[in-house]
């Protein structure tokens, strides 16, 4: 039933006297290293070990997974301190997540599991029809990847599963990078229909899982602004905003990205939509390209900038905010009078207020006056855990510029 030996006695870990047990009782999913009693026994636990968490008075709190090598030393798997974490438990969590997505979407292209928010800490699963890409970003999920894959096949009926073991989260857990096909075979990029556009997802060699489903509602809002417009999509990846805007009636769209491979996939998507003649790409550093376009006197009716996380953690916050301000300063002059500017952030460390302030400063320094029309977030297949601010990472600001 499980790849994990459930016959062994479960270890017990305990909060320090000053640790806030109430937060765990109220749904906070993490225990930080300085909150746990880390004696030699706890430090010797294998990363990913399932344990019972007790408060300082030795009262059971929850079933947790422990990684002594991580700053997040404990992750709450179940608030039942006696829960059995096996393949059946995983299947039940996936089934609950699937029921929600089936209500939300007509086609099976979405984020199926969004980590802590779906009760599977550190686990990301994106679905592309019959293909699922799993990111086991916590030690327990790496140890139980066989159970996760089996449960996923049983519940969702997928025929191909890719394990994408890359990214910053895994390095923080002390896990190696590895991307491998666990089940089935991948023949090439996968066509993904979304917002009337067609995207090409490289689930083996692309960024993250190959496509960013989180921007779906923001793509749709941008498309509403794009009818008849000249569109510039910077940090475009596989054409996220540009292709949605073409589907919404844009006159033409230019995608800018540093990756030639990503731009190639964007061009394939445009051709598949029958929009190849109205789509163009420009490879290069985003900041340098924004400066070059300004020097050329280029103007666009809608400019979108969706950069990678400039502030992935608190130590990078100030530098990240300066980078967001610089993006806004360079992008604003490229917007035609009365046109629109969309600025996005997927940085955990920069909250909405900080990002909005940095963006507004940059627009002002670019010589424009902004009118904020709309604030967008990740789609409902990326639900937020209210107790965990990090789960609500995506912000998209839509401005009209005078």
Bridge-based pairing of strands 178-183 and 190-194 is: unpaired
53: Cβ contacts below 8 Å, ≥ 6 apart? 12, 13, 14, 15, 24, 31, 60, 61, 62, 63, 64, 74, 76, 81
Q: Write down the catalytic residue from 245, 305, 344, 346.
A: 346
Q: Which residues pair with 396 in a beta bridge?
A: 344, 376
Bridge-based pairing of strands 60-66 and 49-54 is: antiparallel
Q: Which residues pair with 253 in a beta bridge?
A: 231, 279
Quick one: CA torsion of 272, 278, 283, 284, rounded to 10 degrees? -140
Residue 254 and residue 282 in contact, taking contact as beta carbons nearer than 8 Å: yes
| Positive or negative torsion for Cα 257, 261, 266, 267 | positive
Q: Token pair for residue 397?
A: 């600001």
Respond yes or no: is residue 346 known to be catalytic.
yes
C-alpha distances out from residue 286 to 187, 230, 302, 328, Å: 31, 18, 16, 12
Residue positions annotated with a catalytic role: 346
């Amino acid at each position: 039933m499980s790849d994990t030996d459930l016959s062994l006695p479960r270890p017990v870990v305990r909060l320090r006297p000053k640790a806030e047990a109430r937060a765990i009782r109220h749904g906070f999913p993490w225990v930080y290293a300085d909150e746990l009693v880390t004696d030699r026994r706890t430090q010797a636990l294998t990363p990913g070990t399932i344990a019972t968490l007790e408060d300082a008075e030795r009262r059971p709190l929850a079933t947790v997974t422990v990684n002594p090598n991580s700053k997040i030393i404990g992750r709450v798997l179940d608030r039942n301190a006696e829960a059995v974490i096996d393949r059946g438990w995983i299947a039940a969590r996936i089934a609950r997540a699937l029921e929600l997505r089936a209500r939300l979407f007509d086609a099976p292209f979405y984020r199926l599991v969004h980590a802590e928010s779906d009760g599977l800490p550190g686990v990301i699963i994106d679905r592309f029809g019959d293909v699922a890409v799993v990111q086991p970003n916590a030690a327990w999920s790496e140890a139980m990847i066989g159970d996760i894959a089996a449960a996923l096949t049983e519940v969702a009926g997928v025929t191909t599963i890719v394990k994408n073991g890359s990214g910053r989260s895994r390095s923080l857990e002390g896990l190696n990078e590895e991307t491998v096909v666990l089940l089935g075979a991948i023949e090439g990029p996968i066509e993904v229909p979304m917002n009337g556009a067609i995207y090409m997802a490289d689930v083996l060699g692309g960024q993250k899982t190959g496509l960013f489903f989180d921007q779906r509602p923001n793509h749709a809002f941008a498309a509403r602004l794009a009818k008849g417009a000249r569109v510039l999509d910077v940090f475009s990846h596989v054409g996220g905003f540009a292709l949605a805007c073409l589907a919404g009636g844009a006159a033409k769209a230019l995608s800018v990205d540093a990756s030639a491979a990503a731009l190639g996939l964007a061009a394939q998507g445009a051709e598949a939509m029958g929009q190849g003649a109205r789509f163009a790409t420009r490879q290069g550093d985003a900041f340098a390209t924004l400066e070059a376009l300004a020097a050329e006197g280029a103007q666009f009716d809608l400019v979108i900038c969706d950069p990678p996380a400039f502030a992935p953690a608190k130590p990078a916050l100030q530098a990240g905010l300066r980078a967001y301000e610089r993006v806004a300063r360079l992008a604003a002059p490229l917007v035609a009078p009365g046109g629109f500017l969309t600025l996005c952030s997927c940085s955990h460390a920069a909250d909405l207020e900080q990002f909005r302030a940095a963006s507004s400063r940059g627009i002002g320094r670019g010589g424009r006056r902004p009118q904020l029309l709309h604030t967008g977030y990740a789609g409902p297949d990326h639900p937020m855990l209210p107790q965990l601010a990090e789960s609500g990472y995506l912000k998209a600001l839509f401005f009209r510029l005078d």
